[in-house]
Amino acid sequence: MLNQLQEFFLACIIGLMVHKRETLTKKELAAQEAFMTKLAIKQRMNAKPVIVGMIGLVGSGKSSVAQELARQIDGTVIEGDAIRIELRKQGEQYERARAIAENAALDVVRQGGNAILDSDFIDAKKRASIREKARKAGVRITFVCTYCDLDVQMGRILTASYRGHVEDFFGGASTKWSGSAQSKGAVVKLREMMRRLPQHYRWENKVGGRWVIKNPPCKVLADIDTTNPAEWKNEVTKCAKQLQ
C-alpha cells in the first residue's frame, strides 16, 4: 500500500515537473518517426486498451514473454532497444528513449491496439512516468515481471552469441573488446546485466555468497519464472486471460 502511494505521488510530480517541459529535438523526432514507421500495429480484440510494462534483467526472458503475450492479446511490442538504435542512427543520446517509447505506446492505443513496452521498468521514476501518461489518456497500465536462474540468464546470452543471434543494439554498442561481432554483442549484454544486477537481486553472504532475486518493486500482474520454457508460457496465458 505504501509503495502504491509513493508511486502515485511520484507520478503526479513527474507529470508537473517533467512532462510539461519535455520536448524532443529534431533528431529525436526523426528517430521516433523512423521507429513508428516500422511498427506493425495489431488491432485489439478486447474492448478496453491496455499498456503493459515489462520488468526484468537482461537475459531474464523479458522479450520472449512480451512477444508471447502480444501474440495472445493482439498486442504491439514497443522495443526499447529498437528505439535506441534509431537514436544512435541520428547521432543522439538515449535520454529521450523513454519519452519516445511512451509516445509510441499511446499512439498504438489511439490506433486501436494494446501496447507492450519491452523495456526494464525496475526504476520507480520510469514506472511513474508511464503511469501518469496512461492515467491522463484513460488507459489501463499494468506490469509483468520476469526472472530466472542466473546461470540460465548468462547461458542464454552466450548461446545467442555462439549462434550469431546478437541484437543490433548490443552488437553496435561501443566496447574495448576487439573480438568478433557476435562475442562483442555478448560482452555488452553481460556488461549491461552486471550493471543492473543490484536492482533486481540482493547479495546474501552465506555459503560463499549468492545473489537472491528481490520481490517485484511494485504490484504486478504476474511474476514469471522463465527458467523452464514449458511452464512460463502457461503463466503468460493466465496473464492474457486477465487482460482480455
The DSSP result for the chain, as a single string, is -HHHHHHHHHHHHHHHHTGGG----HHHHHHHHHHHHH--PPPP-SSS-EEEEEE--TTSSHHHHHHHHHHHHTEEEEEHHHHHHHHHHTT--STTHHHHHHHHHHHHHHTT-EEEEES---SHHHHHHHHHHHHHHT-EEEEEEEE--HHHHHHHHHHHHHTT---HHHHTS--S--S-HHHHHHHHHHHHHHHHHHHHEEEE-STT-EEEEPPPSS--SEEEE-SSHHHHHHHHHHHHHHH-
Sign of CA dihedral 188, 193, 199, 202: negative
pLDDT at 164: 59
Whether 24 maps to a domain, the answer reads yes
Residue 191 lies in a domain: no
Total structural domains within the chain: 1
Does some domain include residue 167? no
Cell of 179: 573480438
**Regions of the chain short of the pLDDT cut 70:** 1-4, 161-174, 177-182
Which residues constitute the domain of residue 111? 2-148+218-243
pTM for the model: 0.91
- Beta carbons within 10 angstroms of residue 112's beta carbon: 12
Instruction: Tell me, yes or no, whether 211 lies in a domain.
Output: no
**Does 185 fall in a domain?**
no
Task: From 73, 121, 127, 82, select the one nearest 104 (Cα to Cα).
Answer: 82
The domain that holds 79 is classified in CATH as: 3.40.50
Q: What is the pLDDT of residue 118?
A: 97
Cβ atoms 244, 236 nearer than 8 A:
no
Residue 164 covered by a domain: no
Per-residue pLDDT at 162: 63
Residue 94 lies in a domain: yes
CB 87 within 8 A of CB 81: no
What pLDDT score was predicted for residue 213?
93
Question: pLDDT tens digit string along 25-77?
Answer: 999 999 999 999 999 999 998 889 999 999 999 999 999 999 999 999 999 99
